[in-house]
Amino acid sequence: MRVRATCVRWALGTATACAGAAAVAVAAPVALPPDVLRATLASAAVVVLSAAVWAYRDLRARQRRILRHMETQTRVLHSAARAAGRLEDR
């Protein structure tokens, strides 16, 4: 299955946000204000959650496309079977 460019961008954005949060937590001085740490972690959590929601929606859209394709194939096969049945009846 091909990965779309938007999927790659979301993954890179999520990884960057998490890396930024980790860098702030590790590289900051010991006297880092708790509010800054909380805000950094909260922003990383928001990015991760929004990426998860996007991935879920994308998965559902792919499933819908696959189901539509399967329904089309089923209709084609059903029509072909009916046509073959009509030919044998003659």
Give me the residues of the chain with pLDDT under 70, please.
Answer: 1-8, 10, 24-32, 89-90
What pLDDT score was predicted for residue 34?
74
pLDDT at 30: 61
Count of domains forming the chain = 1
- CA dist., res. 62 & res. 4, Å (int): 12
In whole angstroms, give the CA distance from residue 27 to residue 8: 27
Q: What range defines the domain where residue 21 resides?
A: 5-89
pLDDT of residue 47: 78
pTM (predicted TM-score)? 0.54
Task: Give how far Cα 50 sits from Cα of 21, 40, 44, Å.
Answer: 16, 16, 10
